Amino acid sequence: MRIKFWGTRGSIPTPEPTAMRYGGDTSCVEVRSGDTLIILDAGTGIRKLGHSLMTDPFFRGKGAIFLSHFHWDHIQGIPFFQPAFVPGNEFHIHGCFKVDSRLEDAMRGQMGSLYFPVKMDDMASCFQFIELLEETVQVGDCSVTSRYLNHPQGCFGYRIDNGKSTIAYATDCEPWPDRRRDDKLFELASGADLLIMDSQFTPEDYDTHVGWGHSTWLDCVEIAKEAGVKQLCLFHHDPYRDDESIDAYLAKARERFPNTIAASRELSLDLLVKETEAEDLADGTEHESAASTPAASTPAITRKSNAPESWEIASREEGAVLFVSSPPNLSLMNSRKFHESVMDLLSEELHRVVLDLTNLEYIDSAGIGSLALLFDALKKRGLELALCNVSSSIMSVLDITRFTTIIKVYPDPAAAAQA
């Protein structure tokens, strides 16, 4: 795997000469594995990556962009990404699903006429928008695992594994105060060849920036040690740090974890193949293809089955409340049927639809999307959507996708009926 840093800075570009060595462009990291191109974040650094791709004979016109989140310093370079203006090129933009800020809206919104003269539709390449939950997706020979990190409005960390080497990308994350919930960060970083992590603050700065959603270089060192990573890369440098001050905290970090580097302008890294792979190659043993390598970590939601099922909607009316039982799965296979079935049940007298999730064991991005569609469709008809009997695992998905900010959740149907 080959990695190149095109944007290393956090929050806002810093084009001043005293910050040029570590770089002034905001987050963008190019990851290459064979023909596979993965771009981590689309801060202003993606502009120069675009220039590089335009003259790269090995670039096949396709790339997968994984956004950590939608803060400016992670999306602002998209309108200046030259390959996206070339007809025939294709970019799959991945980001976390949020019911109140959809990925495609966020991308198109920053190019709204109030902010920018060029519309996203004027970019001639083909875009696909892929909203992720915590899951593992395959991109070429790489598996990419997403996990939520602690950051205002949420942020995804990613783990990329091509079967030979593994990188973890954890920008914009603040360790939880009690450290108990950092298991997702450890899961991403565990045994990685390279951990690229947010080191925006010094431990001294942090005291006045609690809750801003960023780590210190000391947090990075501690997590790298505990997670057993081979190399640590300090990333997302604070805009108020010049090159000399980054040199200073890099030296301190190296005292505690010698294999530490700091991301710098156009730094390239080649990750070596894993020892076992190297041995296999040396003795001529055929090694497993990445596609057959098990996912790096198990998804947070129980994945029972994606198969179509013979499910019929169950419902009852109590006064002005319609109770609907959810199917065991809510996924791409049945989300349209689910939506249509609920809409068919609506009558003039209703005030509220309560979705009873007792049976729901599995939900994917399409299922989450169908809940959002249902919420909108009911709202247009003046009806409220509420939920009851929500398991803790499904509740965590609803929390993180911000459903709980717009949909009421009751412990049971009786509470939902009385409200």
Q: Which residues bind Zn ion (CB under 5 A)?
A: 10, 71, 73, 172
Amino acid code (one letter) for 94: H
Q: CB 13 → Zn ion: shortest distance, Å?
A: 12
Q: CB 151 → Zn ion: shortest distance, Å?
A: 6
Amino acid code (one letter) for 378: L
Based on CB atoms, which residue is closest to Zn ion, 32 or 94?
A: 94
Q: CB 274 → Zn ion: shortest distance, Å?
A: 31
Based on CB atoms, which residue is closest to Zn ion, 168 or 324?
A: 168
Cα dihedral sign, 373-113-107-56: positive
Based on CB atoms, which residue is closest to Zn ion, 3 or 173?
A: 173
Q: For Zn ion, which residue has the nearest CB?
A: 71
Based on CB atoms, which residue is closest to Zn ion, 13 or 140?
A: 13
Based on CB atoms, which residue is closest to Zn ion, 33 or 200?
A: 200
Q: CB 64 → Zn ion: shortest distance, Å?
A: 20
Based on CB atoms, which residue is closest to Zn ion, 33 or 150?
A: 150
Based on CB atoms, which residue is closest to Zn ion, 10 or 23?
A: 10
Based on CB atoms, which residue is closest to Zn ion, 71 or 164?
A: 71
Angle between helix axes 365-380 and 335-344 (nearest 10 degrees) is 20
Q: CB 319 → Zn ion: shortest distance, Å?
A: 46
Q: CB 42 → Zn ion: shortest distance, Å?
A: 12
